[in-house]
Structure formats: C-alpha cells, structure tokens
Structure 1
Amino acid sequence: MRRFRTAVMLAAGGLVLSACQAGPAEPQAASSSPRSAPEQPPTSAPATPPPLALSAAEQAQLDQEVIAAAKANNAPLVAGLIGRGGNVNAKDAIQDSAFLYAGAEGFNEVLRLTLAAGADVASTNRYGGTALIPASEHGHVETVQILIAAGVPVNHVNNLGWTAMQEAILLNNGGPRQLEVVRLLLDAGADPDIRDPEGRTALQNAERLGFAEIAALIRSRS
C-alpha cells in the first residue's frame, strides 16, 4: 500500500514538472496578406505654356527667317520657326512666301510643312501666278500632285496670260515629266481650251512645238 501511494506521488510530481517546463502558448500568426494601399488619382502632364507674344518687328523678322529657311530647303529649321509662330504666308521683297517658293522649286518636305501650317493655296507670286504654275513649268510631278490635292486652282491665269498647263508646254521640253504634269492637270479638271495672249490653246502650242505625245493626250480628252 505504501508503495502504491509513493508511485502515485511520483507520477503527480512528473506531471507538474512537465507543465512548468513547457513554454507559454504562441500567439496566433498575423495575416500574411498586406492591406492594399489606396489608389492615387492619375496626375496630368503639365500644360505647355503658350509662346510669348512677339512685337511687330520681332514677328516680321521671324517671318523673313521662315522664307530664308524655305529658300535654303532647310525643312528642320522651317519646322522650328513655324513652331515659334512663323507665318508661312508672309512674303519677302520680291513677293515670295515660304509656301510659294517651296511649291515653285519642288521642295516637297518644306511644302508639306507650310500646308500643314495653313498656307494660303490661292496666294500668288510677283507674276500673279499660283504655286502650281511654276511647279508645272519645271515639271515637278510630285509637287504638282501635292498642290492639286491641296486645292490650288488649276485654271488660274497669271499676269503673263498663262495657265499651269500652258506653262508646262511653253516653258519646257515636252518630255516625260511634262507629259505627266499635263495628265495630272487634265485629271484635275484643267481646261486645255484657255488661250494664251497669242490666242493659242494648249493643244495648238503643243502641236506648234512638236510635242506629239502631249498633243495626243490633250486630243484624247477633248
């Protein structure tokens, strides 16, 4: 009996000792998913400040720089000057504007810049001609296409009494580029029956100068 009580007391003591050695219960682990931050409203890019207003003298100087850059066929400079407020319709002392000169000389990159900047397609040079007339005279085929698409009048008569078609025939060699220019003008509605100061039509001038292909083309459209 004494041995039984002793065994019970030893067992109870072991239980107490085990409870004392055990550490405190670990706290419950916090949630591993972080709380999402509130979305911030998008920020807009700062507005580009408007160009500073120029005095009349400054504007006139800028406009002349545009013309000079166009005459040099410097498209990047023309673009920069237009961006600063340069006027592509302003003229110099001999009545050339950036638009008129680029059209006459076939500077197509500059020409497109002036058109995008609001060039007056009906404006005229010192001879009373549109940009299309000298472009046709010089046989600038792509330039003629650009100008026709922009709405330059195809039947305008300059101070010399010539249309674009008459100049294309009278002032060049009647070669393939001139033939294509005449074709483009006819396609755009140019009238070959408008007479020059001598009373001749475009067909009569083509025949007189021996430009058989141009004459045949005009006859086919009559």
Structure 2
Amino acid sequence: MSGTQSPAPALLLAAARTGDADSVRRALADGADPEVRDEARRTPLLLAAQGDHVAAARVLVAAGADPDAQDTRLESAWLATGVTGSVAMMRALLPAGPDVRLRNRFGGIALIPASERGHVAYVEAALRETGMDVNHVNRLGWTALLEAVILGDGGAAHEEIVRLLLAAGARPDLADGEGVTAREHAERRGFAGMAALLAAAESGTPAGTGGPAGTGGPAGTGGPAEAGRTGDGAAG
C-alpha cells in the first residue's frame, strides 16, 4: 500500500501513444493525471496528437488536458498539428483554447511547418479558423510564405499554399535574413508558377483565379516566428 505506485499514469501514456481511447478513459477514471509526463516530458495529449489519434485526444481534452504543454524539445500537442497536417486533430484541440502564438524550438508557430510540408488542407483550415499570424517570422527570419518556397518542392501543393497565404494577407515583400524575398527564392529554384504568383502579389495584380475559395482572410495579429526543417524533419 504505502510506497505502491499506481499503474494508471503509465497506462494513460501508453494508451495515448497507441490511440486507445477506451483505455485513456479508464486510466483517467482510475486517477491518472492528464498532465502526466514521460521521460521526454511528453504529455498524453502530445503523444495522441503526434500519432493523430483524434478519439483519444478528444477524451483528454474533455478531461482538461493542456494543448500547449511542451516537452523537452518544445513540442506541444497544438504545434504537432502543424507538423502532421491533421485538420481533424487541429479541430479536436480548438475547444481546449490553444495559444496559436505558441512557438516551437525554432521560434515558429504551427502554420510554418504546415506550409513547409505542403499540408494544403491544414493551411487553408488554419487560416480560416484559428487566427494564426500569417506573417509570423521565425528565428531563421522566415515566414510561412518564405518557408513554403525555400523548403518546399515547388509542386502543386506548395504552389497552392503560396496562393492561400497570399490571399490571407502574407506579405511578399518580407525578405529573409539575407534580404532575399520569396519571389527571388522561387526564381532561383526554378519555381515558375510560384514566382509568377509572388510577382503578381508584389505588383498588386490579381494572381489568377485558380485557388480555392474561402481562404479566410488575415490570420490573426502579429506574432513571432517559426522555423524550418533543420535535419530532424521538424519545421517552424
């Protein structure tokens, strides 16, 4: 009895990691703290978000789990949605009131890795539903727009993200730390479609009619920055 440790916290972490919503519910009922941490200081909600286990995340959110709790690498459940690109997880976490200005270890917000990785649906939903700052600048001096060009592949997904960001108020004149704009990066990389979109935005000319409607207007008020992939695959 005295000195006996309850298995509930470990069971909660394991259930969140595997997405077993019923076991998450049982562990919470047995007294597990929804903010328990593993060896890397990951919470059950972060583990669920990283695995895109939406049902488990909803149980944890209902139990009051914090979407902004960060681990040793400054990852949080909310920030993880930008990496995975899961719109369903993003929406599951919104009732918990995440801080959309929260920064990862690169100084970036969730919009930046999503833009880098080509998560079109996430970028569109985030711009429309969350109030994230479309012109947030990370420690590398990159906005989501810059990161989509610099770290993207120039394909249809990244081109659509550039279109969405511009429609939401992204500033094409914001250059990186070396004074190079997104258009100049696109031209250097041979991304003709992106370069044309960015040139039109710089000149104030409408950039065609091809993008989806309802991109949601400017995303939030000014916040800081986010960063790109630097070897470990995590972005901004």
TM-score of the two chains, using structure 1 as the length reference: 0.72
Contact 2:101 2:132 in 1 (8 A): yes
Q: 1:59: Cα distance to partner?
A: 4.9
Structure 1 stretches of 4+ with a deviation exceeding 4 A read: none
Is there any run of 5+ residues in structure 1 with no aligned partner, and where?
Answer: 1-50
The one-character-per-residue Cα deviations of 1:38-80 (angstroms, maximum 9, x if unpaired) are: xxxxxxxxxxxxx99x8xx935317701111111110000000
Contact 2:175 2:182 in 1 (8 A): yes
Instruction: Measure, in 2, the Cα distance between the counterparts of 1:172 and 1:185.
Output: 14
Query: Structure 2: which amino acid aligns with 1:88?
Result: P
Instruction: Measure, in 2, the Cα distance between the counterparts of 1:184 and 1:207.
Output: 19
Match of 1:74 among 53, 57, 66: 53
Alignment of 1:48-197 (within 5 A): 58-61=33-36, 64-149=43-128, 150-197=130-177
1:26 aligned partner: none
Alignment of 1:10-21 (within 5 A): none
Contact 1:195 1:202 in 2 (8 A): yes
Is there any run of 5+ residues in structure 2 with no aligned partner, and where?
Answer: 1-27, 203-236
Contact 1:89 1:98 in 2 (8 A): yes
> Greater CA radius of gyration, 1 or 2?
1
The one-character-per-residue Cα deviations of 1:156-205 (angstroms, maximum 9, x if unpaired) are: 11011111001100002100011100000000100011111221001100
Query: Structure 1: which amino acid aligns with 2:35?
Result: A
Contact 1:165 1:182 in 2 (8 A): yes
Aligned residues: 169
1:215 aligned partner: 195
The one-character-per-residue Cα deviations of 1:130-170 (angstroms, maximum 9, x if unpaired) are: 10000000010010012112110011110111110011000
Instruction: Measure, in 2, the Cα distance between the counterparts of 1:187 and 1:108.
Output: 20
Query: Structure 2: which amino acid aligns with 1:140?
Result: H
Instruction: Measure, in 2, the Cα distance between the counterparts of 1:59 and 1:81.
Output: 7
What SS is found at the alignment partner of 2:36?
helix
Query: Structure 2: which amino acid aligns with 1:135?
Result: A
Give me the CA root mean square deviation.
1.8
Alignment of 1:17-36 (within 5 A): none
Contact 2:100 2:131 in 1 (8 A): yes
What SS is found at the alignment partner of 1:96?
coil
Contact 1:103 1:147 in 2 (8 A): no
Q: Which has the higher contact order (CA 8 A, sep 6+)?
A: 2
**Percent of pairs with identical residues:** 44
Query: Structure 2: which amino acid aligns with 1:207?
Result: E
What SS is found at the alignment partner of 2:33?
helix
Deviates more, 1:176-185 or 1:143-152: 143-152
Contact 1:69 1:78 in 2 (8 A): yes
1:198 aligned partner: 178
